[in-house]
Structure 1
Amino acid sequence: MSELPEELAGATNTLICAPSMSRHAGGGTHCTELLNAGETPASVLWVTYTRSPSACVEAVRRSGVEPASLSVIAVGETPMEDDESLSSVRVDTVSTPSDLTGLGITLSQTLSGREDVVVCFDSLTAVLQYVERETLYEFLHAVVGQLHAADALAHFHLDPTAHDRQTVDALTSLFDAVVHVRDGDREIRTRQLL
């Protein structure tokens, strides 16, 4: 099990900035560290625009996390898989990638009544293919508040090389901490330093 970096101990929502086309795509071990952030076996919720539900389940299992429950919200054209690994997993779908209202409602329903939830949102770069920056900013502002109210720990993935500086800066401002991954090195900035 990975050790959570001390700088992230107080962060309830973290942005992982890592290039998609690197060997550290998606933040690699940094995502794993954040999935393992809870003190007890947490409920894990994976929101994905980029992976199949079974790929999300496999990533959680490879991370060493043994959650009390696992849910996946698959956004976009996701074929329903006939995979045994999904038998104990709640899978919800939002068929239209630009439907942030539908995604917000599904997220709220999935979080309802759960405790010790860890959320992985993969990826904001993919969302920006379907909506404008301002729309995503407003959605994230609401979601970050919703996750905070649910006492959930959440991390979000973004490829900073795919966006202009203004977009990255605007989205960064919403998070308690930002992990920049470059060539295997990481720089962690918390809200006090942002």
Structure 2
Amino acid sequence: MSGYSLGIKELDDLLGGIREGTNLMMIGPPMSRKDDLLDAIIFNSQTPDGSAIIVSTREPGERVLGWFEDNGMSLADADIGVVDCVTKTLGMAAADTDKIKRASSPVDLTGIGVKISQFFEEMLVRKQKEHIHLCINSLSTILMYSNIQTVFRFLHVFTGRVKAANGFGLYVVEDEMHDAQTIATLKQLFDGMIEIKAVGDSYAMRVVGLTSKPTPWFEYSIEGTELSLKRT
């Protein structure tokens, strides 16, 4: 079983692959298109033996899946599941489907955990997929409603599940929304970070913690699933 990639050639060449069981924090300022970056990574790194679980605290599950479909992915063939933490908070009655499981709200960490576990069981045990992504977008929304100790315990369970399943976890955090102690506490759970910073009117990214020294900064732009990188 091989490792994982980001589906971004410039960074993948520098990293030489991402080992199984890796958990990464993606941290950057608002408006830096972290949502699109996360979706593009999932889109570009999917393989026939792969699957992905996306916990969405920002958009309904249908909209999350719609992005992949709009960009040419066949949802009938792709093994992507969404834990939707939004729809029920809007007071909308919506049943679970094969690809969307609903939690009552971003506060409901127990319910979110149950839905994640159902997808893990389905993808790894029933379908016997060899690769699995777990993506939470975003931890910052969850932290708005729960204290850091509660979120840390929740994350400790699922970063551990990712390691045990030889998976790859990506967790989005809004920079500047949290104090230094909160970020330092969260970092304990991760193997490294995708850091994002503003560069003039654009944004740049680098990967920290997976190699002996951080990768260079790359300014990036996103068009659908296509990422263009330029070294800064």
- Please report the TM-score for the alignment, with normalisation by the length of structure 1: 0.81
Separation in structure 1 between the aligned mates of residue 119 and residue 45 of structure 2, nearest angstrom: 20
Deviations 1:99-153 (A, max 9, x none): 2122112111111142222222110000011100111111101110012222222
Give the direction of change, closer, same or farther, for the CA distance of 1:145–1:129 in structure 2 (3 Å limit).
Answer: same
Select the residue among 155, 165, 170 that pairs with 1:140: 155
> What secondary structure, in the 3-state scheme, does the structure 2 residue paired with 1:36 have?
helix
Q: Which runs of 5+ in 2 are unaligned?
A: 1-5, 124-128, 215-232
> What secondary structure, in the 3-state scheme, does the structure 1 residue paired with 2:34 have?
helix
Select the residue among 9, 12, 17 that pairs with 1:9: 17
Q: Alignment length, in residue pairs?
A: 188
Separation in structure 1 between the aligned mates of residue 142 and residue 159 of structure 2, nearest angstrom: 16
- Structure with more relative contact order (C-alpha pairs < 8 Å, separation 6 or more): 1
1:99 aligns with 2:104: no
1:157 alignment counterpart: 172
Separation in structure 1 between the aligned mates of residue 17 and residue 111 of structure 2, nearest angstrom: 31
Separation in structure 2 between the aligned mates of residue 61 and residue 8 of structure 1, nearest angstrom: 30
- Please report the TM-score for the alignment, with normalisation by the length of structure 2: 0.69
> What secondary structure, in the 3-state scheme, does the structure 2 residue paired with 1:128 have?
helix
1:52 alignment counterpart: 60
Preserved contact between residue 32 and residue 63 of structure 1 (Cα < 8 Å): no
Alignment root-mean-square deviation, CA: 2.8
Separation in structure 2 between the aligned mates of residue 56 and residue 143 of structure 1, nearest angstrom: 21
The residue type paired with residue 55 of structure 2 is V
Identity %: 20
Give the direction of change, closer, same or farther, for the CA distance of 1:44–1:60 in structure 2 (3 Å limit).
Answer: farther
Select the residue among 166, 175, 182 that pairs with 2:197: 182
Separation in structure 2 between the aligned mates of residue 26 and residue 162 of structure 1, nearest angstrom: 15
Q: Which runs of 5+ in 1 are unaligned?
A: none
1:125 alignment counterpart: 140
